[in-house]
Structures are given as structure tokens and as C-alpha cells.
Amino acid sequence: MTSSESYRIPGLELIDHSFDLPLDHSRPEGRRIEIFVREVRDLDPASKDKPFLVFLQGGPGFRAPIPIQKAGWLKRALTEFRVLMYDTRGNGLSTPVDYQTLAMEGDAQAQADYLKHFRQDNIVRDAELIRAEMSPGVPWSTIGQSYGGWCTTTYLSLHPEGLKECFVFGGIPGIDRTARDIYEGTFPFVEERNRQYFEKFPMDKARLTKLAKHLQENDVRFSNGDRITPELVQLLGLKFGFAHTSEEIHFLLEEAFVKVGDQEIVSHMFKTGLQAALRFGANPIFAILHEAIYAQGAATGWACQAVQKEKYAHFENFDDFLFYGEMVFPWMFDEISELKGMKEAAEILAAYEDWPALYNKEVLSKNTVPVACAVYANDMFVNAKFSRETIEAVPNMKAFYTSEYEHCGLRVGGEHLFSRLIDLARGEVER
């Protein structure tokens, strides 16, 4: 471990830590990668002795939150913890996976073999080696947002001895659910969000039909040269899973066209806003491993596309435009420039059958670690029914079920909601 000197921003003291860890934990003497963790304390001198709380980020494919101010869930956490903002492998300041670095791995098979090491099982193994240096012999607490709950459940399976207590926000996986199960459960939620959106903004149906027709008949491109297609516009529906973001889509569509002389063309403002909303190129793990996080002993086979083609073919009718949700399709690797070089590797991963198990049901059935979960009834990303199946099967896993939030309770109600889960985990409240 190498560590920086401590430095301060208003209300917070930070220390940067870097760890040299194995790429493949079954071959600890082999290739190494760097893992970055930022330690966050409040300014109380006694904070250096507080126990650790490890933040497990959503995604997959995103870095840990950057601490800007002491607010929300972080404010509550710092009253009793030092918080570790953990950039999981492939993300942030850890050894990154992106279109530049992945190309250096070699051919498509070499790229796929490399990416097989970037799921939640190895995220947990990294965390345990970090704990051995930062908190030797002492279990720590974790807070998992969305995919961070997948990581938490794997942690409970592989190394429960490393955990004191766990808090999960919108992220308890169905431990037996396949990628196909996930999308069969997701599409009805997406259809309902579309219904709600067009009920709120009925004028956007005609706008989107007009926009889709224009994009099909004209060669309209982003500044990076990628052609804008109706399918890329459909990906804006990912925003439906968060609070107040349907309004963002509506106001973006308001400025879809601009008049230039006697012609209407797609506006620069719309193109800029759409490109900023599509983060797949900047966070490629989110695309290339999106279905792999559900894989255990079987191929995913582009499950989302299979379900869409078989049961939701009407999403391809742009005269009755519908948005997609948190979904990844193989055509994205043709249309998004940063993903194009990963297409062959993505195909190999979609066909790969020998994914190791991510959850140990026998270990989970004997769980003694207190786990408190916020489960959002209206969550478009994580099916509450599948979460409930796991919660009911795992001892000492308690849930606070709420319809107050979308998928972003930690973001919009973090201080209150985190306090609630702390009380739930410690027996101060029952639900």
C-alpha cells in the first residue's frame, strides 16, 4: 500500500491509497493491477480511529463518488465511520478499462479473457486484500448502492468474516435469477414508465416520431462522427429510473430541431445533450459486462435483445416511439465509436458458458452478518420481487420497503435513509 499525505477540502480530510493486487486471484504471482481507495474523514481529530465503512459503487463500470462536501449519506456516515471510496477494478483511478487500454490487451479473445476478471467476485477479493492492510483482523462495514448490493451479496458468500454490518440501497440481487429472468422482469416496468411519461408529456410522442423519421432519412452525426439513430435516442429511457429525470428528457426534446433558413435540422443543443446522456462510451464496463454480472454457469446470449425480439418487437415501431431502460444491445457496439473495438470481445463474453458462481447459497443460508436493505417498490432497475426472494432466504437480512424513491434514494434522501438502515441493522427499528 502507498498512501498520500492527508489533505483537506471544506469539512473533510482525505487520504489517497493505492494497492498493487493480482489481476487473477488464483495466480497471485502473476500480472498485477492497481486499485485506488480514497479515505474520507471529518475534521474531528478522533476520526482517525473510527472504524471503516467501504462504499461499493453501482454500475458496473463507475468509479466511487467523489467527495465534494459533507452532505447527505456521507454526512451521516462520518459521524461514526471513516469512509473508503473504493474505485473497483477497471474504474476511476484504479487500472482502467476503456477503449484505449483494452485495445492493448491484444485480439478479441485476449480482451474477453481479461474482462472475465472484472466482475463482483474479484471486486470482493480485492477488498479483502485491502482490508488485510488497512484493517487487519478487524471486519468492516459496507454500504452498497445498486450493483454495490450485488457485490455485497457476493462478499457475504465469499468472505463473511470480513464484514461487521452491511447497508444496501436498491441492490439486492435475485441469486438464482438469470439475465433472461432479469429482462423479462424489467420490460413491463419500462413499458409502464413509458406510459407514465407520455401521459405527462403527450406532445413528445409526435416529436419523437418526427425525430426518428428525420434520423432515418438524414445522416445526422455527433461531433465525434457517430451517426445518431432512433435507437440511440431510445436509450434516453435509462433516465426513467431516477427521480425528476423524465423532465430532463422532455426539455431536451423541446429543442430537438432548429430552423436554418427554410429547413429544420437537428439542433446542436440536442445533439450535445443526447451525447452527454449516453455514457456507455465513457464507462464501457457498464456495456460489455452488463449481462455478465448475472451469469453463473451459463451464457447470457444477449438476453435483453432476445427478450425484446421475442416479446417486445413493438419497440422497433418508431411511429409509436418507446424508450428502452437500463438495457444493453449488441447493435450498440456498432453505433457507439468507443465500443466498436470491443464488439468481438463482447460477442465472446455473451457466448461464454463457464462463468463461476457469484453466490454461495449454503453460506448465505447461515448468514450472521446484519444486513439492512432499502428496497424500492417502483425501482425500474432492480426488481423488488427478486430482491424479496433473496431477503426472505438469507437470515439477518432485513428490508425497509418503500415507494417513496425511484432507484436513487441514497442520492436524494441519503441522510435520512441511511439513518433508517443503521437503526434497522442494529435492531433499533423492525422495518
The domain tally of the chain equals 2
**Taking the model in full, what pTM does it have?**
0.96
Q: Strand, helix or coil at 151?
A: helix
- Beta strands 140-145; 163-169: pairing state: parallel
**Positions marked catalytic:** 146, 354, 407
pLDDT of residue 411: 81
pLDDT of residue 225: 95
- Give the burial class of 135: count Cβ atoms within 10 A of its Cβ; 0-12 exposed, 13-18 middle, 19 or more buried: middle
Condensed to tens digits (0 to 9), the pLDDT of residues 239-256 reads: 998 877 889 999 999 999
Q: What grid cell was written down for 370? A: 446484519
| Local mean pLDDT, 10-residue blocks, the chain (431 residues) | 96 98 97 98 94 96 94 95 98 95 96 98 98 97 96 98 97 96 96 96 97 98 96 96 87 96 94 92 91 97 98 97 97 95 97 98 98 92 95 96 84 87 89 68
Instruction: Among 308, 327, 351, identify where a domain stops.
Output: 351
Residue holding cell 438469507? 394
Answer yes or no: do 159 and 39 share one domain: yes
- DSSP classification of residue 427: T
219 is in which domain, residue-wise?
179-351
Q: What grid cell was written down for 138? A: 478487524
Q: List all residues 6 or more positions away from 429 whose beta carbon is below 8 Å from its beta carbon.
A: 420, 423
The answer to the question of residue 104 being in a domain is no
Q: Strand, helix or coil at 216?
A: helix
pLDDT of residue 267: 97
Q: Strand, helix or coil at 7?
A: strand
pLDDT of residue 403: 84
Instruction: Among 302, 328, 351, identify where a domain stops.
Output: 351
Q: What grid cell was written down for 110? A: 485476449
Condensed to tens digits (0 to 9), the pLDDT of residues 276-310 reads: 998 887 889 999 999 999 999 999 999 999 999 99
Q: Strand, helix or coil at 227?
A: strand
pLDDT of residue 264: 94
Q: Are 293 and 119 in contact (CB under 8 A)?
A: yes
Answer yes or no: do 134 and 29 share one domain: yes
The answer to the question of residue 387 being in a domain is yes
Answer yes or no: do 19 and 167 share one domain: yes
CATH number of the domain encompassing residue 125: 3.40.50.1820
Instruction: Among 285, 320, 351, identify where a domain stops.
Output: 351
CA–CA distance, 373 with 386 (Å, rounded to integer): 13
Sign of CA dihedral 361, 366, 368, 373: positive
Q: Are 235 and 324 in contact (CB under 8 A)?
A: yes
